[in-house]
Amino acid sequence: MSAHETAFDSSLGAYLLLLPTLAAIGAFLYYPSLQTLRLSVYKTFLFGQNTRFVGLENFTSLLTSNTYLASVGLTFAFAALVVVSTLAVGLLVAFLLYEVTDGKAAYLIAAIWPYALPTAVAGTVLLFLAHPSVGIYTFYLESWFGVEVDWFTVGWQAFLVVAIAAVWKQVGYNVIFMLAALNNVPESLNEACELDGVGTWRRLLRVYVPLMSPTLVFLVVINTIYAFFGSFALIDLMTQGGPTNATNLLIYQLYRDAFQFNNLGLASAESVILFLIVGGLTYVQLRVSDRYAHY
């Protein structure tokens, strides 16, 4: 037993110290989560005035609903796009930061500032700059590249714009962790690379990335969770799920069903499914990393 653990003896004291945390997680985390499970097997009217037990009916109606299934597909596609893009951009920037010899401190701050960027700000700014009618990006895209920007009507364009906003906001966070991981690369390894004449890209991809794999796995998990849940503000501000549900991610569908259509039982069922999906994804990601990560 370490000295730390015997610093104080009173068990009661320990529980008292833990009380605020335990009370908070009991009230705000466990209790509602269990309630979600319970509500998901009821059909509700308004805010709980009438509830009727319906077993798995909510789940079956979700799993047979085209809108819902489309939403599942969209969310996976969105997550894949955002996770991969964020990692790629983050890796590039982190690598450049690692390689630069002068002005590291200044570059660092300039590179990670998006960490402080609120999602709603990212959405609002891009909504304007890429606005099909008055956006400056639209203007240049249309005049220089002849691309027709119409993401208020064209689904995949809206999807892309939201994804770009999501990546923009998340890159800062990734850069921080990746740079930390790169900093842990032993200098001797760098010297060895130099001596062996290993080219830059090979060095990055063959040497650094495997070394960074625990961090990268961690970031994949974090980015996935962000793509699934954190994108809500972007959707609500930029597209409201449209056009025609092209950006109707699971989190947005949940919000609509719960707070616009007042269908609490159904929304709870959606929460349960979301939980299973994200939990499942996390588990898979960690398992895969076990096999491929080099520790």
> Looking only at residues 57 through 86 of this chain, which bind another protein when binding is defined by CB under 8 A?
none
* Piece of the chain touching another protein by CB under 8 A; list 36-44, 69-77, 79-87, 285-293: 36-44
Sign of the torsion formed by the C-alpha atoms of 34, 40, 44 and 46: positive
For the chain, the residue count is 295
Give the other-Cβ count within 10 Å of 78's Cβ.
21
Asked whether position 286 contacts another protein by CB under 8 A, the answer is no
Among 87, 227, 233, 247, binds another protein (CB under 8 A): 233
Burial class (CB in 10 A: 0-12, 13-18, 19+), 132: middle
Least separation in angstroms between CB 294 and another protein: 18
24: amino acid identity, one letter: A
* Piece of the chain touching another protein by CB under 8 A; list 68-76, 80-88, 205-213, 270-278: 270-278
Least separation in angstroms between CB 128 and another protein: 5
Least separation in angstroms between CB 282 and another protein: 8
Among 79, 82, 87, 171, binds another protein (CB under 8 A): 171
228 contact partners, CB below 8 Å, separation of at least 6: 75, 79, 249, 250, 251, 274, 277, 278
Asked whether position 30 contacts another protein by CB under 8 A, the answer is yes
Among 56, 60, 118, 147, binds another protein (CB under 8 A): 118
Asked whether position 194 contacts another protein by CB under 8 A, the answer is yes
Among 176, 281, 286, 293, binds another protein (CB under 8 A): 176
Instruction: Work out whether strand 42-45 and strand 50-53 pair parallel, antiparallel, or are unpaired.
Output: antiparallel
Asked whether position 289 contacts another protein by CB under 8 A, the answer is no
Asked whether position 179 contacts another protein by CB under 8 A, the answer is yes
* Piece of the chain touching another protein by CB under 8 A; list 72-80, 107-115, 205-213, 285-293: 107-115
CA 71 to chain centre: 16
- Residue of 229, 90, 249, 87 whose CA lies nearest to 159: 249
Q: CB-wise, 81 or 165, nearer to another protein?
A: 165
Give the other-Cβ count within 10 Å of 177's Cβ.
17
